[in-house]
Amino acid sequence: MKRMIYAVILFSLMSIFSSFIVVQKAGKDVSSKEAMPDTVKLKFSGIVADSFDFKPIRTQMLAVDNFLVIANQNDGDKGIYLYSLSEGKRIRDFIIPSSSPSKMIFRINDEKYLCGIYDDICCKAYAITRSLKIEKVKSGAITEFGGMEAGTYVNLIYMDKDKLVYTIRGGRNVTLRRTALSDTASAVILQDLRIKPEYDYFFPYEGMVATDAKGDRIVYAYNYFKVIRFMDGSASPLKVLDFGKPGFDPETLKIADGLDKNRMYYYGGLYVGGSIYVRSLNGEKYPYENHSSTIIEQYDRNGNPIRVIELDRKGVFTVDETCDRLYLLTEGSDRKIYYYDLSEVGIVN
């Protein structure tokens, strides 16, 4: 919210440093005429943790092996928490050698690691090993104090033994890029993620990005447009669903906390098995209090809708690797982690 106080000033600075790069645009947009399936309502099946001591802020979760990895913002050098799903309790708080409040987790397709951690202030990448230790890992062109244009924000989404895929937000656009882990000097721009109408700043194009476990499918769901883009592993367009809802209001950038005045459509999600799960806010405006539930849209790898799931609690979710259980960390005063048995509605993976 606070970032909009200086949004206009920030954009002016970024425009000096960021060049206007046009790569392959969205491809041919496909206006969605497909009716979304009926909503399936789910009640929680059990509780993983009946309390936690942090305030959820831009929280992420990944269910990997028998663990639940949680990244939470503004928790100082902590903010990465590990829960044992078999024991039903928090077993480790990882300390990252940085006071940065902004850390995120991402997929690593490497049997040595559970997942990656990125500190987007210090531009450093780490990983949680299978032995539950923290290691610093190579991150190609995303290196300490280098490899990024000035005034940009980076979001790492996928890494394997050779490459790293990430987005950069800055200047007039959001771009999807790839770098070889051994190359600290250059990166390939895979896709320009702007959609019409085109604005002179990146804020309207912010969104949720995810890949499948092998990195051969990429999905991007926009925060301020009800649009989802499906791409293959090289970011070539497969399908763009545009539901034709009202989009970003550029006038909001002229006021403090203006982003919160816009409708929010998608926020958070992941790619598991052969499905994409995206959290839908249905065009709500901040503070997003119109619902006490969580709405999740599920699509197959080609962008075809499978179903809509409505959970009986509101929060951040993830799905395990077998697609048979969904986990939810509540955002309100409840402060519990629940699980939902997807077999109740028929497992689709």
pLDDT digits (tens, 9 = 90+) for 254-291: 888 888 899 999 998 999 988 999 999 989 887 777 67
For residues 126 and 134, the answer to whether their CB atoms sit within 8 Å is yes
* Closest among 5, 45, 28 to 326, alpha carbons compared: 45
Which of 197, 268, 151 is CA-nearest to residue 25? Answer: 197
- Contacts with 325 (C-beta within 8 Å, 6 or more apart), sequence order: 63, 319, 339, 340, 341, 342
Please give the Cα distance from 250 to 220 (Å, whole number).
21
Closest CA to 68 of 40, 46, 48: 48
For residue 97, how many other CB atoms are within 10 A of its CB?
Answer: 12
Q: What local confidence, expressed as pLDDT, does residue 152 receive?
A: 76
Domains and CATH numbers, the chain: 2-344 (2.120.10.30)
Burial of 259 (0-12, 13-18, 19+ CB in 10 A): buried
pLDDT tens, 133-186? 999 998 888 865 444 555 678 888 999 989 999 999 888 899 999 999 988 888
Q: How far apart are CA 198 and CA 323, in angstroms?
A: 37
Lowest mean per-residue pLDDT among 36-40, 99-103, 129-133, 238-242: 99-103
Tell me how far apart the alpha carbons of residues 139 and 118 are, in angstroms, rounded to a whole number: 10
d(CA 103, CA 92): 16
287 preceded by cis ω (within 30°)?
Answer: yes
The span from the CA of 163 to the CA of 324, in Å, is 30
Rg of the chain on CA atoms, in Å? 19
Looking only at the bridges linking them, the beta strands covering 275-284 and 294-300 are: antiparallel
Is the model more confident about 4 or about 282? Answer: 282
- Cβ atoms of 39 and 195 closer than 8 Å: no
CA–centroid distance for 242 within its chain: 19
Question: How distant, in Å, are the alpha carbons of 29, 201, 242, 303, 307 from that of 34?
Answer: 14, 31, 10, 11, 12
The answer to whether residues 281 and 302 touch, using CB atoms and an 8 Å cutoff, is no
| Distance in angstroms (rounded) separating the CA atoms of residues 249 and 261 | 8
Which has more pLDDT, 107 or 13? 107
